[in-house]
Amino acid sequence: MSGIRSTGGQLMASLFEKVSVLISANLHAMVDQALKSNSMAVIDQYVRQVEENLEDLEDAATTVGGEAKSLKRKLTDLEQKEDELDRAIDAFLREGNDAAAVAAQSRLNSTQRLVETYREQFKRQENEFQKLLDAKVKLEARLATMKQQREELQALLELAKSKETTVKAIKSLDDLMGSGDSDIERIAESIRTRLDKATTASEMRATNLDKQMDDVLDRGVLNAQLAERKKKLGITD
């Protein structure tokens, strides 16, 4: 039994060590590394490790919590037995049955030692169970934080890629303008001219639409005013 408990203790210590490393990880450094490498790999690896260790924590907490309940039940039974033996000794002594009282006292002594053993084991298991629950809460909080930062980081990387594509396209156009080939320069200038024309046309359409909306609204006001006057004058259409 001691060998099994020792192995379990080593596994638990290893789990706490891994969880401690994950909880104390520098999230800002990971985000900076991801931005520099333009990759989510380091973040995803951390998330996977946290999720795996959360599963291990839940399994361990379930096991230790179950053992604590079993110890508590056995302790309660032993304490009840302790009370029964204590009352029995008094009863035997009142009856003058010293031999039975001695035997009962011997059993009481053994039971009391066993009660103390179970009580210590129960306290250790309860303490271990609480540590597991605390570690689980902390690790869940770290996971939630990193997942939120991952979404923000993903948006930043996508924005950066979009900006890079735009800059590359503009640079390519500028390179064409400065290439020295008159035909290529004319093509580049034509592209720029078409872009300017399209932008101007879009602005004009927006202006015309705004004007039309103003006209319609003004007409609506005028028509309402004339209708009110006709009503006062008793004029019907």
Distance of CA 158 to the CA centre of its chain: 22
State the Cα–Cα distance between residues 110 and 104, nearest whole angstrom.
10
pLDDT digits (tens, 9 = 90+) for 98-150: 999 999 999 999 999 999 999 999 999 999 999 999 999 999 998 988 888 88
pLDDT of residue 164: 59
pTM given for the model: 0.59
User: How many Å apart are CA 50 and CA 136, to the nearest integer?
Assistant: 10
- Show the tokens assigned to 193: 């001219």
Kindly tell me if the per-residue pLDDT of 194 is higher than 70.
no
Kindly tell me if the per-residue pLDDT of 181 is higher than 60: no
